[in-house]
Amino acid sequence: MSASDRGKRWPEVERRAGNRRVSAARRTRERRSGLDRRNEAAWIPVPVEESDCSDDDLVAIARGAREHAQAHYSGFKVGAVLEAADGTLFPGCNIENATYGLTLCAERVALVKALSEGHTAFARIAVVADTADPTPPCGPCRQLLWEYCGDIAVVLGNLERPIARYGLGALLPLPFDRRLLK
């Protein structure tokens, strides 16, 4: 995937008779393998199975994960769900700590759960917060998602519905990765 392609929005999803069919571009889009996600050479095709889970469904699952958030200090609950390339879903919620610096974001909780269970290729992540505007992942989450997931789809939703969809490359246009450590 070229640098100019990373900032483009993801292809639209076809919907027919209530059934979701993903465009051919999504099914064949390149994904990073689990070998080394920290440089451009790591972009090799990884098959992504067509998901039965729509963006609406993904946001609903993230909304449910949000209910488990431990946001005693900020009161700002966030839920996320990371979809592996094989369709396995990993929900996560934010878990706060009194020092704030040790707080875990919902996106990182979902990512760590997936990685700890051996998953290494991912299709998309949904993030839900109780806001009118989209609430994208924070900088550290974008960095970790880039390193371990590549340019995945990021679905942003609120308590009612999905409200935006981006490629991670559009949210992190100049990523710091292994290429720069030479």
Q: Rounded CA gap, 67 and 93, in Å?
A: 8
Distance between CA atoms of residues 41 and 107, nearest Å: 25
The residue annotated as part of the active site, out of 49, 83, 96, 107, is: 107
Does the active-site annotation cover 107? Answer: yes
Helical axes 139-149 vs 106-116, angle rounded to 10°: 20
Comparing CA positions, the residue from 146, 123, 144, 143 lying closest to residue 58 is: 123
Catalytic residue positions, numbered: 107
